[in-house]
Amino acid sequence: IYRETLSKRGVRVLTDLGKYFRQVDKNRNGFLSQAAFKEALKVFHLEMPEGDFESLWLILDDSKSDKVDYGEFTRAIFGEMNEYRKAFVRKAYMKLDFNKTGSVPMVDVRKCYCAK
């Protein structure tokens, strides 16, 4: 039960952290500066010693751009998707990209998906 509760809390925190990232990303470029990332950790009570934060930042900012995007963050936390999930995502994408253009405009996503 403890492990299940811990994992549910972990997923909830990561989900909420993703929402927070999108809220503080004022220019909508998908990136957060080191200071903004540190503040996000503080908001979610995930503070750590400065040395540990620096180590974490080096892992997350693998492109050495002095900023981190949510994709880099989730890959560092969860790792790469397994083959089953990748196949599922490809199948869903092929359904959304019914014109076979290689991109899916939001209008097409809205035709197939309702977030309500």
Query: Which domains, from first to last, does the chain contain?
Result: 1-78 (1.10.238.10), 83-112 (no CATH)
* pLDDT computed for residue 87 by the predictor: 92
pLDDT at 5: 42
Contacts of 74 (CB under 8 A, 6+ apart): 14, 18
pLDDT in tens, 34-83: 888 888 888 888 888 999 999 988 888 877 888 887 777 777 666 777 89
- State which of 21-30, 64-73, 87-96 shows the largest mean pLDDT: 87-96
Kindly give, in sequence order, each residue whose CB lies less than 8 Å from that of residue 30, ignoring residues fewer than 6 positions away: 69, 70, 71
Look at the block and give the residue holding tokens 């309702």: 114
For residue 10, give the nearest of 45, 49, 38 by alpha carbon: 45
Q: Is the Cβ–Cβ distance between 61 and 67 less than 8 Å?
A: yes
Is the model's pTM score more than 0.75?
no
